[in-house]
A and B are shown apart, each in its own frame.
Chain A
């Protein structure tokens, strides 16, 4: 198969399923610092499905509130905009990602569980690293691989060649994708992110999560650290996480990028972190369960 053209990629991106409109509108309102809590609550309440999903997530063990949250108004007040935003993106991501992607060997649910795993891991690392907005790391981890939705078919048709290059040269699977197809799932993911009007920070996380070392100079240090944390969470997800694809662990961890971003990693740090992340399974399951229940 010859390399994919940009027009082919754009056409595939256009064919992606529509995302839930109410949740997308709320996510965009949450990007606007002038949005009031009252306005936000009133928009969420109009959509019964979104209201029910927000309340189920709020009341899941993943958030651990001591009392039951019964109304959207309460939810907005108690969660704050940052947490509410990551929650709304979780609802959007389920619609987008809970589907099979055969080219990567992903059955229904795999990409969704993998995204939730990376999200929870990224947030945990961000909290440990005192990133100002760990919820943004959650959302970055959640959406990092949306390009796989578009690239799956092409990867499937060329899998043997991509794997052969990746394994024989010990290069990241994304680099082998690019070599064979002309695009990789990070680059294609940015196209998807733009179609879905995701904010620029998330577009950058999606674009650079496999290559966090040489970032464009316009990216500020705090954003570089965010991207690098999602990179680390992605690698840990490949190591111990749920729903990995057939490319498995054909990736590298860029320790130089971690150091450059100010994350002081060594053997003990990485092993302790892996030990902590292995204990987060109940959080991931609780998030998944709360969106699987009937409304």
Chain B
């Protein structure tokens, strides 16, 4: 039996693998969105943790020493995921995409409504970027008011989601 190799996909990160022993964990998914891509034929895939919908809204203030976060913005993340997936040997035609996250605060009071919807906007931005590549989301577990953790097992292609304090369930 092959030892599983678990890797965490942090905020704004994107990781792919063709190693069948690979498991990706995406923890702390709040208003952000975890995107999982999988080729069931070649049994390769990857995961990303998107933070915000649009790169046009990136802050002009740079954080010194901050690492590059390729999946921070949905509009840039999706083309990068698809490109990296193909480079790894994945087939866009066969790929299965699942997403989890996009939770919401109750409200943002005082009429500051756009950021209130950042979870929903992340979902919409990911679906729009996928549509441009002719792709759709196969399964999703999104919305609500809870943080989630996602686990993606490459060997079987199974994705499991857990809301904090709850039980893990398959997606």
Show the binding face of A for B, using Cβ within 8 Å: 61, 64, 104-105, 128, 159, 167, 170-172, 235, 238-246, 248-256, 258-259, 265-268, 270-276, 278-283
Q: Given A244-B30, A274-B115, A252–B105 Cβ distance below 8 Å?
A: yes
Prevailing SS type, chain B contact patch = loop
Q: Chain A: which residue is nearest B51 at the CB level?
A: A278
A271, B106: Cα distance in complex, Å: 17
Bits for B46-66, please: 1 = Cβ < 8 Å to A, else 0: 000001100001111111111
Interchain CA distance A250-B107 in the complex, whole Å: 9
Q: Name the A residues within 8 Å of B51 (CB-CB).
A: 240, 274-275, 278
Partner of B103, one of A248, A258, A281: A248
**Which 3 pairs, one residue from A and one from B, show the smallest C-beta to C-beta distance?**
A246-B165, A255-B110, A105-B165
Asked whether B52 lies within 8 Å of A278 as measured between CB atoms, the reply is yes
Known: A249-B147, A267-B112, A273-B59. A278 touches B12 (CB 8 A): yes
Interface residue SS majority, chain A: helix
Size of the chain B interface, CB-CB below 8 angstroms: 45
Q: Which residues of B are found within 8 Å of A239, using beta-carbon distances? A: 30-32, 105, 118
| Contact indicator B146/A282 (Cβ below 8 Å) | no
Of B30, B62, B111, B166, the contact of A240 (CB 8 Å cutoff): B30
Q: Is the CB of A241 within 8 A of B28?
A: yes
Residues of A within 8 A of B112 (CB): 253, 255, 265-267, 270
Q: Is the CB of A240 within 8 A of B11?
A: yes
Specify the chain B residue showing the minimal Cβ separation from A256: B110
Minimum CB distance partner of A253 in chain B: B108
| Contact present for A268 and B57 (CB under 8 Å) | yes
**Which chain B residues lie closer than 8 Å to A258 at the CB level?**
110
CA gap between A272 and B54 in the complex, in Å: 11
B145 at the interface (CB under 8 A from A): yes
Q: Which residues of B contact A272 (CB under 8 A)?
A: 57-61
Contact call B105/A282, Cβ cutoff below 8 A: no
Query: Can you offer 18 A-B residue contacts whose CB atoms are under 8 A?
Result: A64-B65, A128-B61, A244-B30, A245-B165, A246-B163, A246-B164, A248-B144, A249-B31, A249-B105, A249-B146, A253-B105, A267-B114, A271-B115, A271-B118, A278-B12, A278-B51, A281-B11, A282-B65
The complex places the Cα of A61 from the Cα of B104 at a distance, in Å, of 33
